[in-house]
Amino acid sequence: MNKETLLVIKIGGNVIDNESFLDSFLKDLSAIQQPKILVHGGGKLATQLSAKLGIETQIIDGRRITDAETIKIVTMVYAGLVNKNIVAKLQANSCNAVGLSGADAQLIQAHKRNHPTIDFGFVGDIDTVNHQFLQTLIADKYTPVIAPISMDKNGLLLNTNADTIASSVALAMSSAFKVKLFYCFEKKGLLSNVNDEKSIISSIKINDIQQMIDNKVIIDGMIPKVQNIKYAIQQGVDSVCLCHASNLLDISRESGIFGTTFYNE
């Protein structure tokens, strides 16, 4: 039986922090008629609010350290302000969105990160996703909008990387859907020449990834990202696309080459 296609789309700060771009992105998203799930990051608002309240934000290895005050801030900002703002804008575009955190319906069950040298504080690593709940919402034509907050089995709210939530959701939905995962980032795709913004690689077979790392086509911070993409596809996600949020509608309509799509042989 052919599975129905489901789009899982992740946006981060470069969309969330730019209100007019966020508006146009959400208008595009609303125009997509296929079932879809939006996962959003937090953007700069939490850091700005922490600064106004005199709470210092600690970052180690690019990861936010989440102390007791900061988990309150990110819960407010991510699951409250950002999530409901996105939901309201989607509703204004006739997209029937439902905003969720990982606590709601035990959507994203996680455990507090156990790291040998760094105490990340209230940071969660994902165990399971309640895919039945998402399937029910999608069957009823709702569009889930997921904030990057998870919860452990004792009801502890945890700050969680939105990229990881997106891939965990994509994986969990793969048994029921043909899942296409989109990571919207600041570029239009993976470049074959880092100095030429037009040199977008349109598609990559996951078996070619190691060679591209060896040849230094995939470098630095892109290496773990691409390794995660490879893992997601190996585990059942149909394809993963690295793209710019402004091209999402074109990509969904398959009306040209935008972004870099990773797929299995």
The only residue of 7, 22, 129, 151 in contact with its own copies, by rule CB under 8 A: 151
Residue 98 beta carbon to its own copies: minimum distance, rounded to whole angstroms: 5
The only residue of 81, 176, 191, 213 in contact with its own copies, by rule CB under 8 A: 81
Comparing CB distances to its own copies, the nearer of 172 and 251 is 172
3-state secondary structure 96-155: CEEEECCCHHHCEEEEECCCCCCCCECEEEEEEECHHHHHHHHHCCCEEEECCEEECCCC
- Measured CA to CA, the distance from residue 47 to residue 50 in angstroms comes to 5
Q: Which of the residues 19 through 58 are near its own copies (CB under 8 A)?
A: 52-53
Token pair, residue 87, equals 């939901």
- Residue 39 has, within 13 A of its CA and on its CB side, a CA count of 27
Give 118's contacts (C-beta < 8 A, 6+ positions apart).
Answer: 60, 61, 65
Residue 123 beta carbon to its own copies: minimum distance, rounded to whole angstroms: 16
Q: Are 265 and 207 in contact (CB under 8 A)?
A: yes
Binding mask 153-172 for its own copies (x = CB under 8 A): -xxxx---------------
Contact call for residue 136 and its own copies (CB under 8 A): yes
**Integer CA distances (angstroms), 37 to 48, 59, 146, 223, in order:** 27, 29, 8, 25
The only residue of 5, 85, 227, 246 in contact with its own copies, by rule CB under 8 A: 85
Contact call for residue 92 and its own copies (CB under 8 A): yes
Comparing CB distances to its own copies, the nearer of 31 and 105 is 105
Binding residues (CB under 8 A) for its own copies: these are: 52-53, 72, 75-81, 83-85, 87-93, 96-101, 103-106, 133, 136, 140, 142, 149, 151, 154-157
